[in-house]
């Protein structure tokens, strides 16, 4: 077998949690294009939002007893947990999410319990986390490295959830040394499709700023997010890694690249009270984002690049990618149909003897998402 097969030290039978989320669906589609992956099982209490070919969907929440049964029955060796919500205002469906803590912390504990059951076949765990773990403060270092501890107690509920969820993963790693655990802390994500509070914020005709502050920003493109998850799923790269495109931009530079006007109208004092007024005007910014608009954040991505990962986009190129999207959105074709999961149709397409399976092309753009990073040279 080729070098890619040598690197697949476990990723043959993969379980993806949060299949209905943007990241779960995109990752499953990308993994489908990897011929070395024998089976892909996706679990979620909601139905898939992206058309998939090889992925088997099981409608189930994060009850650890049911997840454990699926893991054992399908002989899952790799679990990728893509459920973490890091935007307290916009959930996977674009609406304000409910039960964030239950999803982020309780759900993570249940997934870990399923992986830790006696005799579990799981040999690898990939946890999608966030740079919110570091928080934002005035005296932060220029770049956070993975070995730095949090400087202050978390102030927002998203930060608290990320810290608690990662603490649970760290305890699992300590108790199960035979399982390879990879934690990816992603910077703010932008891209051609993903919907976040930052995307909505930058789509405004004039972008508000906190008066007197011009924070530093890093971004990671949605394509690199999927590639990063796939990279660690098919390779043995345990540890905690920062994931952000190269380069740092000030907020004013981001606004200029987008062709927008800065609007320094948010007062530096009484910011929370001012934001309550903006909410009445239809502008809702999550508390974790307001902190970034004041102090910003930088994370060091060198450790992740040392594993052999190659970013397709720098932070600047990620912003330009968003600029192209924002320019095209107003003239996009109206009423574009979205995928709707139909169980009977899916069952027919996958299992009927009358379906023509002679075609070998995957027929979707996600086939191009197969991780291009070369194997790590020993």
List the structure tokens of 221: 């493109």
What DSSP character marks residue 103?
I
Closest CA relative to residue 130, chosen from 106, 171, 158, 153: 158
Selected residue with higher pLDDT from 269 and 36: 36
Whole-model pTM: value is: 0.88
Buried b (16+ CB within 10 A) or exposed e, 36-63: ebeebbbbbeeebbbbbbbbbbbeeebe
Q: Which pLDDT value is given to residue 314?
A: 98
Q: Indicate if the pLDDT at residue 366 is higher than 50.
A: no
Closest CA relative to residue 183, chosen from 304, 314, 313: 304
Q: Which pLDDT value is given to residue 55?
A: 95
Percent of the chain at pLDDT > 90 equals: 66
Write out pLDDT tens, residues 141-185.
999 999 999 889 999 999 999 999 999 999 999 999 999 999 999
Q: Is 119 helix (H, G, I), strand (E, B) or coil?
A: coil
Write out pLDDT tens, residues 79-98.
999 999 999 887 665 667 77
Label residue 249 by pLDDT band (50, 70, 90): very high
- Distance between CA 130 and CA 210 in Å, rounded? 24
Q: Which pLDDT value is given to residue 259?
A: 95
Selected residue with higher pLDDT from 46 and 370: 46
Q: Indicate if the pLDDT at residue 367 is higher than 50.
A: no
Q: Which pLDDT value is given to residue 285?
A: 84
Helical spans, DSSP H, in 219-377: 222-233, 251-257, 271-280, 287-295, 302-305, 315-328, 343-351
Q: What is the 3-state secondary structure (H, E, C) of 27-38?
A: HHHHHHCCCCCC
Q: Which pLDDT value is given to residue 362?
A: 43
Label residue 9 by pLDDT band (50, 70, 90): low
Q: Which pLDDT value is given to residue 255?
A: 97
Q: Indicate if the pLDDT at residue 340 is higher than 60.
A: yes
- Distance between CA 205 and CA 325 in Å, rounded? 14
Q: Which pLDDT value is given to residue 270?
A: 66
Q: Indicate if the pLDDT at residue 376 is higher than 60.
A: no
Q: Which pLDDT value is given to residue 43?
A: 96
Closest CA relative to residue 319, chosen from 151, 158, 164, 191: 191
- What's the CATH code, domain 3-7+12-329? 3.40.50.720
Q: Which residue has the tokens 């501890």?
A: 149
Q: Indicate if the pLDDT at residue 51 is higher than 80.
A: yes
Element (H, E) at 166: helix 157-175
Strand duo 216-217 + 249-250: pairing? antiparallel
Which of 175-179, 197-201, 267-271 has the least mean pLDDT? 267-271
Q: Indicate if the pLDDT at residue 7 is higher than 50.
A: no
Closest CA relative to residue 114, chosen from 154, 162, 165, 63: 63
Q: Indicate if the pLDDT at residue 121 is higher than 70.
A: yes
């Amino acid at each position: 077998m080729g070098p890619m097969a040598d690197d697949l030290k476990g990723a043959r039978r993969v379980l993806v949690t949060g299949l209905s989320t943007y990241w779960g669906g995109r990752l499953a589609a990308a993994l489908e294009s990897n011929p070395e992956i024998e089976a892909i099982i996706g679990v979620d209490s909601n139905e898939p939002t992206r058309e998939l070919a090889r992925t088997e969907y099981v409608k189930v929440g994060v009850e650890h007893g049911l997840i454990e049964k699926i893991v054992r029955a399908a002989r899952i060796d790799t679990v990728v947990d893509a459920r973490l919500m890091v935007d307290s205002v916009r959930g996977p469906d674009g609406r304000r999410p409910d039960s964030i803590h239950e999803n982020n912390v309780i759900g993570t504990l249940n997934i870990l319990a399923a992986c830790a059951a006696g005799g579990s076949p799981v040999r690898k765990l990939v946890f999608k986390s966030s740079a919110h773990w570091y928080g934002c403060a005035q005296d932060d270092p220029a770049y956070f490295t993975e070995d730095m501890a949090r400087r202050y107690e978390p102030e927002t509920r998203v930060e608290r959830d990320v810290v608690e969820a990662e603490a649970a993963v760290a305890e699992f790693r300590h108790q199960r040394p035979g399982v390879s655990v990879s934690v990816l802390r992603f910077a703010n994500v932008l891209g051609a499709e993903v919907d976040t509070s930052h995307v909505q914020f930058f789509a405004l005709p004039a972008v508000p700023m906190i008066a007197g502050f011009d924070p530093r920003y890093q971004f990671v493109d949605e394509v690199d997010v999927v590639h990063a998850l796939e990279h660690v799923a098919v390779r043995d790269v345990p540890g905690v890694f920062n994931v952000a495109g190269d380069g740092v931009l000030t907020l004013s530079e981001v606004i200029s690249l987008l062709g927008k006007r800065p609007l320094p109208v948010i007062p530096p004092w009484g910011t929370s009270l001012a934001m309550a007024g903006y909410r009445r005007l239809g502008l809702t910014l999550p508390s974790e984002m307001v902190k970034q608009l004041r102090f910003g954040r930088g994370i060091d991505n060198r450790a992740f690049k040392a594993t052999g990962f190659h970013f397709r986009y720098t932070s600047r190129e990620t912003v330009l990618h968003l600029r192209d999207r924002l320019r095209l959105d107003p003239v996009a074709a109206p009423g574009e149909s979205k995928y709707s999961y139909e169980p009977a149709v899916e069952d027919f397409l996958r299992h009927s003897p009358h379906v023509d399976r002679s075609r070998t092309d995957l027929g979707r753009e996600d086939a191009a998402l197969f991780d291009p990073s070369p194997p790590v040279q020993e």
